[in-house]
């Protein structure tokens, strides 16, 4: 049995799973999303150059990916520190920081934030989507990628001795590219050796989550210990959702706070509102999946911080939990979603 077994690995070291408390399973505290810049519509260029003004706030909320500066979350460490202190005050205990190689993971800053705020921070190992893979990553074998991921968990990431406690978010698009398939296989191999949690960013197609599960399973991954992220922008039909749920992964609704008319990355998608997200949770609970649901905000742009008029990391605790209770999800079920399920997932086998 490894020394990780039965523990959760935070950036400050191993902790007893009961110490975590309420946990957001998919956030970012410092990262760059420049890789996914989406040019503004003709005529909007001037606003996009100077978006952080009251009269531009609605535009920014609707076009968060069309402004370079908005994508540089790593410039806001001070604001994030304040937010984490507020998150603790609101009853939060832990945050899974999903920034992987390709979107500027910053392990020393995560460690400092954990020290400064008392929030348990669990960092992610592995690689983001194909367009962020370096030439070296593309040429690296599955075996070598597996070794790198394992080393990020056992010894530390990015030349530090600060260790990751989860693999992911592992980025995939649609269709899944060869390089992404290689990373998925390495993820499954590493998970089989470490008994660790995994979290996946699927492509924007209803078939994408199940295809990822198939690849992981074939490579020996543990689907019961895997979170499928971003279901709110990926599977819209309740029948398809139940079909996917049967495969056994954790089901993550992680875009709480995002309400937009046009989803730049897939205009055929109608991004749900927070009310619709709560309806999806209530549906899954009614269908017996209360042990498999996890939730978060996936904050990855500046405009979503309270400093810039956004909802911040405490939105779920302050606003969504009361709404869940009003829509028939019991306090016991809320606690499962926020405390017990993340704890089970994050504990090494
Ligand atoms: C950082 C990240 O991957 N966020 C997800 C954005 S998406 O629009 O839900 O794909």
Query: Distance, CA 2 to ligand 1 centroid (Å)?
Result: 33
Is the pLDDT assigned to residue 48 strictly greater than 80?
yes
Q: What is the Cα Rg of the chain in Å? A: 19
- 295-325 pLDDT, tens digit each: 999 999 999 999 999 999 999 999 999 999 9
Q: Do the beta carbons of residue 25 and residue 345 sit within 8 Å?
A: yes
For residue 161, the model assigns a pLDDT of 98
SS3 category, 293: strand
**CB of 38 shorter than 6 A to ligand 1:** no
Q: How far is 178 from 87, CA to CA, in rounded Å?
A: 39
Question: Domain extents for the chain?
Answer: 27-346
Residue of 275, 306, 255 whose CA lies nearest to 57: 306
Query: Distance, CA 264 to ligand 1 centroid (Å)?
Result: 11
Q: Which residues pair with 14 in a beta bridge?
A: 9
Residue of 272, 182, 188, 179 whose CA lies nearest to 230: 272
Neighbours of 324 (CB within 10 A): 22
Q: How far is 237 from 251, CA to CA, in rounded Å?
A: 14
List, in order, residues 6 or more apart from 227 with CB less than 8 Å away: 25, 26, 168, 197, 198, 199, 200, 249, 250, 252, 294, 345
CA nearest ligand 1 atom 9, residue:
230
Query: Distance, CA 335 to ligand 1 centroid (Å)?
Result: 26
Atom of ligand 1 nearest to the CA of 128: 3
Query: Distance, CA 6 to ligand 1 centroid (Å)?
Result: 30
Interface confidence, given as ipTM, is: 0.98
User: Average pLDDT of 236-251?
Assistant: 98
27-346: which CATH topology?
Answer: TIM Barrel (3.20.20)
Burial class (CB in 10 A: 0-12, 13-18, 19+), 70: buried
How many contiguous H segments (helices) and E segments (strands) does the chain have? Answer: 14, 10
Is the pLDDT assigned to residue 123 strictly greater than 70?
yes
Q: Do the beta carbons of residue 26 and residue 252 sit within 8 Å?
A: yes
- Give me the residue label for tokens 């209770």: 325
The distance from CA 167 to its chain's CA centroid, rounded to whole angstroms, is 11
CA nearest ligand 1 atom 3, residue:
201
The distance from CA 341 to its chain's CA centroid, rounded to whole angstroms, is 15
CA torsion sign, 57 to 58 to 59 to 64?
A: positive
Query: Distance, CA 184 to ligand 1 centroid (Å)?
Result: 18
For residue 230, the model assigns a pLDDT of 98
Atom of ligand 1 nearest to the CA of 298: 4
Print burial letters for 140-164: b (CB count within 10 Å at least 16), e (below 16): bebeebbebbbebbbebbeeeebbb
**CB of 26 shorter than 6 A to ligand 1:** no
**CB of 265 shorter than 6 A to ligand 1:** yes
Question: Over the chain, what is the mean pLDDT?
Answer: 97
Is the whole model's pTM more than 0.95, yes or no?
yes
Is the pLDDT assigned to residue 66 strictly greater than 70?
yes
Q: What are phi and psi of 73, to 5 degrees?
A: -60, -30
**CB of 297 shorter than 6 A to ligand 1:** no
User: Residues at the annotated binding site?
Assistant: 26, 28, 169, 201, 230, 298
For residue 223, the model assigns a pLDDT of 98
For residue 2, the model assigns a pLDDT of 86
Q: Do the beta carbons of residue 233 and residue 263 sit within 8 Å?
A: yes
Is the pLDDT assigned to residue 1 strictly greater than 70?
no
Q: How far is 252 from 271, CA to CA, in rounded Å?
A: 15
pLDDT classification of 50: cutoffs 50, 70, 90: confident
**CB of 105 shorter than 6 A to ligand 1:** no
Q: Do the beta carbons of residue 348 and residue 8 sit within 8 Å?
A: yes
Q: Which of 24, 65, 129, 233 to mutate to test the pocket of ligand 1 (most atoms within 8 A of CB)?
A: 233
Q: Which of 66, 232, 298 to mutate to test the pocket of ligand 1 (most atoms within 8 A of CB)?
A: 298
User: Residues at the annotated binding site for a divalent metal cation?
Assistant: 26, 28, 169, 201, 230, 298
């Amino acid at each position: 049995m490894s020394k990780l077994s039965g523990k959760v690995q935070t950036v400050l070291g191993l902790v007893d799973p009961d110490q975590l408390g309420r946990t957001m399973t998919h956030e970012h505290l410092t990262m760059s999303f420049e890789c996914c810049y989406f040019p503004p519509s003709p005529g909007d260029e001037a606003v996009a150059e100077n978006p952080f003004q009251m009269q531009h706030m609605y535009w920014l909320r609707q076009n968060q990916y069309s402004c370079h500066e908005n994508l540089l979350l790593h410039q806001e460490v001070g604001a994030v520190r304040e937010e984490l202190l507020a998150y603790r005050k609101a009853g939060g205990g832990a945050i899974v920081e999903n920034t992987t190689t390709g979107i500027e993971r910053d392990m020393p800053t995560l460690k400092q934030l954990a020290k400064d705020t008392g929030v348990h921070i669990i960092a992610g190992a592995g690689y983001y989507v194909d367009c962020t893979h370096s030439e070296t990553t593309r040429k690296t074998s599955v075996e070598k990628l597996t070794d790198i991921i394992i080393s990020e968990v056992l010894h530390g990431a990015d030349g530090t001795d600060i260790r990751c406690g989860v693999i992911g978010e592992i980025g995939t698009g649609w269709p899944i590219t060869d390089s992404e398939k290689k990373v998925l296989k390495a993820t499954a191999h590493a998970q089989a050796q470490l008994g660790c949690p995994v979290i996946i960013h699927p492509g924007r197609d209803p078939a994408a989550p199940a295809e990822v599960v198939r690849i992981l399973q074939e490579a020996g991954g543990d689907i019961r210990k895997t979170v499928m992220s971003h279901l709110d922008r990926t599977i819209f039909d309740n029948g398809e959702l139940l079909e996917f749920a049967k495969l056994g992964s954790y089901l993550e609704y992680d875009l709480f706070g995002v309400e937009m008319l046009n989803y730049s990355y897939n205009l055929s998608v109608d991004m749900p509102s927070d009310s619709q997200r709560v309806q999806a949770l209530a549906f899954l609970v009614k269908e017996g999946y209360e042990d498999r649901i996890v939730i978060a905000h996936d904050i990855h742009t500046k405009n979503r911080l309270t400093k810039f008029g956004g909802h911040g990391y405490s939105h779920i605790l302050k606003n969504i939990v009361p709404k869940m209770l009003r829509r028939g999800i019991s306090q016991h079920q809320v606690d499962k979603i926020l405390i017990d399920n993340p704890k089970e997932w994050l504990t090494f086998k």
